[in-house]
Chain A
Amino acid sequence: MGEVSAAFIKIGYLTTMSYPLSFVVDQIATLTPIFTYYFVAKVVETPSVDVGGDYFTFVIIGVITTRLLAGGLRGLGDELELAVSEGRFESLLAQPVPWRTLPFGLVQWGFIWRAINAAVIVVIAIGLGSEFLLSGVPAALLIVLLGTFATMAIGNLAAGVKLLAKRTDPIIAFYQIAVFIFAGVAYPITLLPRALQIISYLIPETYVIAALRKLLLPGGADLPGPSAPSVILGLLLFNAIAFPASLWLFGRTLEYGRKTGLLGGY
């Protein structure tokens, strides 16, 4: 398994680095929201609701968390789509690797890259005046890891749909809209009407973002939302059920593709 992981990470790295211009432009693009929110934060220097400190740091935590968790959500589907459209998917399936390990292999480079990208954003944010509580970092990393597995469970399901339906991945499209609106990326979910907050609590990102703000913002402890230990427990329970189930469903999708001959088409 270790060797397979290393193989996927290396091929991901080599492929990314073989497009240097795209690599540089992509990185610059991911940094753009930092500056946008920096100036938006200047506009709302005194927020009307409690954001646990300054608004800029509050948003940056939301942006980083969403980006990291999107690796779990989109990673497999995107990699599968690329492999199918570039014609490599069937030859990948012809390798002596258990098919159920593919979700792990294909997304790893994406995770690593997103983690590096998040670290860069944090450094820039600190340079622009953000303050984070260092004591909350270990628990925050654990929550991000658990949250990534949670979104990966949803991503595996979506990848299965993409594998058969090819260009449509409606689950991801709807999910990402829901995250942006309901998970509290740019504003506290308490601003949403009470009925809509129910949707917020159906999305793993909501819990992860809330817990990270409690852990990392200097005034975050008093923010509304579940505590970090309860989020860790909740994610552990969610992952214990959802993650194996998603791998099983992904395997069933591959098996259905084997029966119908839909695996290699696009």
Chain B
Amino acid sequence: MSVAAAPAVEVRGLTKVYLPSPPWMRFFLRTQIREPVRALDEVSIRFDGGQICAVAGPNGAGKTTLFKILTGLLAPTEGSAVVVGIDATRESPQLRRVVGFMAGDDRSLWLRLTCQQNLEFRGRLQGLRGAVLTARIDDVLDAVGLGDMHDRVGFALSSGMRARLQLACALLHEPPVLILDEPTATIDPVGSFELLQKIRQVTVERKLAVLFSTHRVDEIEALGENVVLLHRGHVVHAGPLDRLRGKLERQVVTIDFVSAEAARAAADRLANAEATEVVERSAYAVTVATSARLGDLLDRLGEATSSIRSLSEQRVPLREVLAEVLAEKDTEHGLDA
């Protein structure tokens, strides 16, 4: 089957409902829920190779459920999920050959064994052997910056290095798709930055499709060319990060005037302007949050524009954009944020 033209990941109408154990079964095994939990609800996303996509959302949004389905570890209740042309809803070794999976913590490693031994085990499970396996191990360790750490045991690595070793394990069989479940969850900011750099580098060099989940806004900004924002199992946004900003694009504009009188007059005019809110006022300056174009804003000021000394604008932080988008979604569904 040719998989070249297929999208890297295509998910349609994906729904996952976790059910509590039937009452007669609870003595033997017990799920930790009493009521059905709809972890994913009609989720549809698609993205192509060579891209990095951040899957973001608060705890319980459905990120891990989505990732487990895409790696074949969890069966969906409804819908389809296809990874480079392979049905991910069925348990299949073929799917796992095209996906490199990195878990959020380092417990998937044998920490008492060396980097080389960890990679040898994974490689053999993937059918690699001999010189090919040796060359791949050298290649992936170099790629993640652990080229001189072949014989270092896991416990002697820093958290950041362990995360990079996990990344090396995920890259070993040269999968076209990487799925990284909160890859920086246990790492300090410096280690996170280094790991993100490595992820970006290997994505470009190896033309991979990378899907990673994160809670951290700085990571979304650093890596997420595309963002899937999940909330209570629904897709709130799927597409370029800039478009997400555009959904709630507002800028904060501070206008400095040459006189207090001009500042007062400007504040009065702007208070009644459409899509504009005066958020701060001092003797000579007015700060507004507005989604209006800057030209419209200046038009609104009329004669006061000639009294402007300086003007500065800044973007609303992504954190606030996300919080507002999610709060808006809660309001739509009549839920508390």
Contacts and interface: CB of A to CB of B under 8 A. Distances in A.
Contact of A94 (B29, B94, B96, B117): B96
Given A11-B117, A259-B75, A261-B68, 11 more contacts: A3-B124, A7-B124, A7-B125, A10-B120, A88-B108, A91-B103, A93-B73, A96-B125, A96-B173, A258-B75, A263-B74
Contact of A255 (B75, B109, B117, B129): B75
Contact of A99 (B91, B112, B124): B91
A3 B29 CA distance: 35
A165 B112 CA distance: 29
Contacts, number: 99
A258 B113 contact: no
Interface of B: 18-19, 21, 28-29, 31-32, 65, 68, 71-75, 91, 93-94, 96-97, 99, 101, 103, 105, 107-110, 112-113, 117, 120-122, 124-127, 129, 173
The DSSP consensus for interface residues of chain A is helix
B153 to A, nearest CB: 8
A260 B113 contact: no
23 contacts: A3-B127, A7-B121, A7-B124, A7-B125, A14-B110, A87-B103, A87-B105, A87-B107, A88-B109, A88-B110, A91-B101, A97-B96, A165-B29, A166-B29, A255-B75, A255-B91, A258-B72, A260-B18, A260-B19, A261-B18, A261-B74, A262-B31, A265-B32
Given A87-B108, A95-B122, A14 B117 contact: yes
Contacts of B112: 15, 18-19
Contacts of B68: 90, 261
Contacts of B91: 99, 254-255, 258
B74 to A, nearest CB: 6
Contact of B125 (A4, A88, A259): A4
The DSSP consensus for interface residues of chain B is loop
Interface residues of A, number: 37
Interface in A214-266: 254-255, 258-265
A100 to B, nearest CB: 10
Interface string A171-182: 000000000000
Contact of A97 (B18, B19, B125): B125
Contacts of A99: 91
